């Protein structure tokens, strides 16, 4: 009970800090980076579902992000409300994921990664060349910002709270999904797909569900991005975004819920503060990536969890050290 109360207060403290952030960060440029990090944390969380919990390395994630962005951009420019366009674009992204997943999810390992990378490139090419719909390489301009009841999300503070609400929604859904029977099915496939299939898990259907859910939230992140930026181009669906989110996930912590958010915030801000090093900052970033992969295979959150477990075990040993233990011979000695 005490542990539950401690965790509850910790999460409430984090939420209070998130709500107070607009009053703490006064630099408009840094605050814009924070908003972008929130959007990218949704995309990284969705990538974490298919990669971290299901064990399928999808490299088409930016393509679905782009589908969501263009879906919301086209529908809102046509006069549809953002609040209708966003779920519709997200569902369309999930539908495209279903169609792509039918052939690709029958492959495994590196074959699946290569297949999804190819589909991601195809999506990028289609967006860049379908001039009549997407605007080609010029992109879409003048995408209206979200509004509700006559209130438009024009200021950075209002946009921050809007994105924060979607991040909390994503976290809630991911938490309920991961800590459910369906989540256990995802993890069983990640740990041993053959064994999961042998005990009765429909591995193909389970992977389809994970893939579609991940693509739904990737499309949602793209739709939010398009509506807040106000203009998009084919680079929105570039596979470079996928690799950035993959790095955020690896450094933040694979198969954790806090890791993707930590990575999506820490890495862009770190790279921004290292701007004065110019190209040399990439060397530092590469060295950091190598160190984390070698010494913290589960990322920064995995390292924090390991440190917490060590402290807990050390406290348990210290408490046990003062207790007398009675041996079989009837003699007592101090517990080690």
In tens digits, the chain (336 residues) has pLDDT values of: 555 555 678 778 888 999 999 999 999 999 999 999 999 999 999 999 999 999 999 999 999 999 999 999 999 999 999 999 999 999 999 999 999 999 999 998 899 999 999 999 999 999 999 999 999 999 999 999 999 988 999 999 999 999 999 999 999 999 999 999 999 999 999 999 999 999 999 999 999 999 999 999 999 999 999 999 999 999 999 999 999 999 999 999 999 999 999 999 989 888 888 888 777 877 887 887 888 878 887 788 877 877 888 888 888 888 887 555 444 455 544 443
Which residue, among 213, 192, 217, has the nearest Cα to 108 in the 3D structure? 192
Residue 4 lies in a domain: no
The answer to whether the CB of 249 falls within 8 A of the CB of 18 is no
Let me know if residue 84 belongs to a domain. Answer: yes
What is the pLDDT at residue 294? Answer: 82
Count of CB atoms situated within 10 Å of the CB of 57:
16
Residue 328 belongs to a domain: no
pLDDT of residue 6: 57
- Parent domain of 183: 29-243
Rounded-to-integer distance, Cα 216 and Cα 203, Å: 20
Give the pLDDT of residue 323: 56
d(CA 64, CA 68): 6
Q: Is residue 315 part of a domain?
A: no
Query: Which residue spans within 124-250 are E strands per DSSP?
Result: 147-148, 151-152
Report how many domains make up the chain.
Answer: 1
> What span, in angstroms and rounded, lies between the C-alpha atoms of 296 and 274?
23
Other Cβ atoms closer than 10 A to 59:
22
Listed in sequence order, the residues at least 6 apart from 224 whose beta carbon sits closer than 8 Å to its beta carbon are: 39, 42, 72, 86, 162, 163, 166
> Is 283 within a domain?
no
Residue 56 falls inside a structural domain = yes
- Tell me which H or E stretch contains 330: none
Asked if 54 contacts 45 with a C-beta cutoff of 8 angstroms, the reply is: no
Q: Is residue 144 part of a domain?
A: yes
CB 220 within 8 A of CB 90: yes
In this predicted structure, what is the pLDDT of residue 257?
Answer: 92
Query: Under DSSP, is residue 326 helix (H, G, I), strand (E, B) or coil?
Result: strand
Classify residue 98 as left (phi > 0), alpha (psi -120 to 50) or beta: alpha
Whether residue 326 lies inside any domain: the answer is no
């Amino acid at each position: 009970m005490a542990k539950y109360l401690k965790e509850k207060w910790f999460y409430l403290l984090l939420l209070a800090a998130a709500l107070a952030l607009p009053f703490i960060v006064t630099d408009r440029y840094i605050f814009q980076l924070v908003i972008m990090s929130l959007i990218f944390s949704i995309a990284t969380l969705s990538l974490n579902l298919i990669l971290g919990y299901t064990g399928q390395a999808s490299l088409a994630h930016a393509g679905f992000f782009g589908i969501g962005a263009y879906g919301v951009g086209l529908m809102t420019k046509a006069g549809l409300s953002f609040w209708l366009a966003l779920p519709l674009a997200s569902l369309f992204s999930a539908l495209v994921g279903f169609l792509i997943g039918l052939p690709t999810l029958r492959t495994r390992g590196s074959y699946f990664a290569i297949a999804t990378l190819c589909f991601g490139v195809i999506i990028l090419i289609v967006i860049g060349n379908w001039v009549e719909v997407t605007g080609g390489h010029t992109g879409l301009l003048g995408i209206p910002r979200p509004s509700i009841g006559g209130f438009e999300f024009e200021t950075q503070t209002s946009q921050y709270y809007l994105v924060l609400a979607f991040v909390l929604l994503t976290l809630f859904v991911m938490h309920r999904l991961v800590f459910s029977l369906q989540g256990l099915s995802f993890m069983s496939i990640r740990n041993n797909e053959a064994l999961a299939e042998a005990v009765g898990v429909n591995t193909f259907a389970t992977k389809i569900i994970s893939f579609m859910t991940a693509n739904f939230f990737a499309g949602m992140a793209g739709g939010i991005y398009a509506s807040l930026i106000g203009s998009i181009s084919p680079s929105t669906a570039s596979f470079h975004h996928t690799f950035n989110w993959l790095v955020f996930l690896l450094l933040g912590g694979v198969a954790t819920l806090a890791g993707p958010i930590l990575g999506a915030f820490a890495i862009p801000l770190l790279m921004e503060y290292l701007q004065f090093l110019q190209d040399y900052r990439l060397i530092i970033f590469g060295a950091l990536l190598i160190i984390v992969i070698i010494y913290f295979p589960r990322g920064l959150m995995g390292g924090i969890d390991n440190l917490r477990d060590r402290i807990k075990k050390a406290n348990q040993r210290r408490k046990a050290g003062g207790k007398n233990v009675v041996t079989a011979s009837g003699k007592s000695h101090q517990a080690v």
